[in-house]
Amino acid sequence: MGDMTAVVTGANRGIGRAVAAGLLAAGHDVVLVARDRAAGERAVAELGGGRLVVGDLSDLRGVRATAGALREACPRLDVLVHNAGVWPSRRVLNGDGLEQAFATNHLAPFVLNLELEPLLRASGTRVVQVSAGLYVKGRADPDRTPTGEDFHPMRTYADTKLCNVMMLPLWADRWRGTGVTIDAVHPGVVRTGLGDRTGVPGALLRAVKLLWKPPATGARPIVRLAVEDRGTGRYFHLDEQTSLAPPATDAALGRLLWDQALKYGSAT
């Protein structure tokens, strides 16, 4: 399966960079999506390969601009890895009036799928969503979570990851029979900059992270799904396929979140 074109979002550091490195080592054409041009160019140089698309996935305008840049850069798209994510310590609203974790962790991959859908269908793309086992701690409120009215410095990350993973079976159903497939994977507890804090809490977190596995280890199940294992609608904990657990099994809530994301995605 060499010579594939693979896009990895949030690829300038952490797990995303390690995924890009794994795909490059396998001989694929890798497009790194990064918000900061200098950081992206540095990652490409240090990896010794790949191409950069500068893209800001923190608001709807940025997602659409990123999609446009990817369509131009990738006449064919074999693999799309949704990796970009944030874990904010305080409530911040973007230019759309949306809380930043909701916008980046949930809405950005959803709208990017919508914007790229003709290309995905034409290419028979393999979509891999980097998830988090903490989704089981989430409580998605369609009225409050989008704007962070229920913001909590720890739980909001889980809330938005729950919103995102609840889209998995709905995307799989939408794309069934088209050649486009989608799976989600929790790569385990990985030592990255995600969720870093300042002060005493930050120091304690950094100390704990020394016990966590490095990004290269966390990237392995993601790369495996991207290039070796073709299925759809599945959720993996590392390399083990598991069923989604409550609260992600609430089909009515999932459909409500889907319809809401569609409205955001179609807004101008």
- Which positions are catalytic? 157
Q: What is the 3-state secondary structure (H, E, C) of 132-147?
A: CHHHHHCCCCCCCCCC
End-to-end CA distance of the chain: 38
Helix (H) or strand (E) holding 191: none
Q: How far apart are CA 74 and CA 46, in angstroms?
A: 22
Helix (H, G, I), strand (E, B) or coil at 8: strand
Q: Which residues of 5-43 are buried (b: 16+ CB within 10 A; e: fewer)?
A: bbbbbbbbbbbbbbbbbbbbebebbbbbbbbeeebbeeb
Q: How far apart are CA 224 and CA 18, in angstroms?
A: 13
Q: How far apart are CA 159 and CA 135, in angstroms?
A: 7
